[in-house]
């Protein structure tokens, strides 16, 4: 569990309070046209907002990630690691050790 210290020296968990699926357009060289790509905007209880705009071309995969992140006790510092692991899982990539 990740914690931050406040002036009272009491430990407070940082958690995800909101997730939103976002979309943008990227150029598809193979088909010579624009293609929708999906990402996620994550808001944390400490007020930090992180946008990861270009994760996947399948909306359903990003929706599943959103569901997994909602309410998670997670520091913004580790969001990238969680997303990397998830992308490795859906694309069948080996985990780095």
pLDDT tens-place string over residues 15-69? 999 999 999 999 888 889 999 999 999 999 999 999 999 999 999 999 999 999 9
Residue 15 near residue 73 (C-beta atoms within 8 A)? yes
| Closest listed residue to residue 56, CA positions, set 18, 31, 19, 21 | 21
User: In the structure, what pLDDT confidence band is assigned to residue 13 with cuts at 50, 70 and 90?
Assistant: confident
Question: Would you state the structure tokens that stand for residue 76, as one six-digit string?
Answer: 């913004």
Please state the three-class secondary structure of 31-47 as a single string.
CCEEEEEEEEEEEECCC
CA-CA-CA-CA torsion sign (79, 93, 20, 53): positive
């Amino acid at each position: 569990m990740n914690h931050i210290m406040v002036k009272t020296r009491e430990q407070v968990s940082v958690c995800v309070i909101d997730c939103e699926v976002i979309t943008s357009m990227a150029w598809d060289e193979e088909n010579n046209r624009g293609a929708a790509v999906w990402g996620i905007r994550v808001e944390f209880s400490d007020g930090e907002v992180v946008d990861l705009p270009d994760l996947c071309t399948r909306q359903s995969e990003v929706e599943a990630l959103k569901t997994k992140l909602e309410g998670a006790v997670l520091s913004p510092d580790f969001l990238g690691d969680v997303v990397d692991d998830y992308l490795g899982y859906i694309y069948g990539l080996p985990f780095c050790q």
